[in-house]
Structure 1
Amino acid sequence: MTTKKWIYLILIIILVVPILFFYNAFNGNPAWKYFSERSLKSYLKDTYPGQEFVIRDGHYNFKFSEYSFTVRKIGDESQKDYELNVAGFWKPAVRYDGIYYDNLDQPLIEKLEREAVAEFKELMKDRVKIVDMGLQIEVLQGTYSSDTKWSKDLKLEKPFHIHLIVDVTNMSKEDVLETVRSIQQTLNSEHYAYSGVSFNGNLFDNEKISKDDFGYLKYSVGFDKDSNIKLNDIEEYNQ
């Protein structure tokens, strides 16, 4: 091959590769879709044994770099469609399962979350001023009766997540670090099965803020039971 032909070939590669890259980023590609659908079929077989599904459609969502598929259970008289999303090019895996979330026991979940929040607030009342707290608990329908009471020994579908808003008006960043470590130590010593905590430290030093407001964010940090929380892990915001 002559030098001129090599130059042409290199120029073609320089022009075509970026085009293919951007096309793939926004539209996916047939190979990616094929392996994503194959991964989805394997997931459905393993997760819902004895049930059969029809994968009705699939499209690429460039915002999340994933394929969204519409799935329907064979024999379902309601003919309900579920969305399942598959992400990952080399090892595609289901990231969102609409069947799972549709089968969560929402009334029981709400009851358990209220009871768990009350228990935790009581546990921490002398250590931190909690403004607001939320838990993300997941329990499938049929797992427990509707009158089941909260207990940290309940077997949930996955460890729960905690979101905290704490009054840190008179606290320094070092005080916040000590508080966050205390929360982590309490959760661990009491053997709570949690996946993580999102901590927001809010200020209430503005006279215009009413007692029902959540103030404004000053510090934030996320941690799990094994985190070695350090001062530089805490984000500080200037208002």
Structure 2
Amino acid sequence: MKKKNIILRTLTILIAATLIGTVLYVINGFKGNPLSAALADRAIQAYVEETYPELELELEKSHYNFKFNEYVARASSRTSVDTHFAIYYSDGKVQWDDYDSYVLGKYNTLTRLEKEYGELVVPILSEIEGLENNDSNVQVEKWEDEKNNDDIDIDMQFSRDLPIDMNIMIRADRIDPSIKRLTDILEKAHKALLDNECVFSSYGIFSEYEDKLIMIHGVKPSDIESGELEQRLLQAYQGRVHNEDGVAENSKDRTEFEEGIRITLKEDKTD
């Protein structure tokens, strides 16, 4: 009996150890392990001190990216709002960082300016009927062309007259997607923004209403100010056809609208 109890106890310990080992293996697979994380943090710290001694960087603890079997740490400057980037460690050493693209390439600066402009225009547009709960956002018009623009400086202050072309996507809260209604919204939005010295090179609008989703891109201020916006939207709308999934695609006349107003329409075809 005593021998049987010893065997059962041994089996219980072995099973428990196996379960614990399995759990730790799974955790390590997703989270990494403390020893590897400590080695990564030490290597990343040495890398930063050697590569960017002048930037006064603060480092966060690295986290494990199980998809790529690597540790990633975020570095940010104590003195520069736009100086922050990631450093990637694997196979016992730092492999690379994205300082060139995110900081020198001005990705961080442009992203911040987009966000600050968006925060400015949302309350302006919310004064328009139908846009009370809008979630509009602002984007650089031509990202690849502009991200190295000499007129953009790292840490530059936001202003309404930025030296780059910006577009705005008006995200409306369930407005009637008729062309007439969308024309009215765009005209009122353009006037309200101009009255507040907000200038955009192009406009778009996105809305879901009942079983329809509509997106409009490429509306220029000249389209709005021409007095012919409704006709131009209708022309672009009529240049659409539906595929079997209910998604509108450009017709054979696609090139006519490619550089101008583009409309995407999706309808729920379920009965």
Same fold (TM over 0.5): no
- TM-score calculated relative to the size of structure 1: 0.36
| Structure with the higher helix share, 1 or 2 | 2
Larger Rg: 2
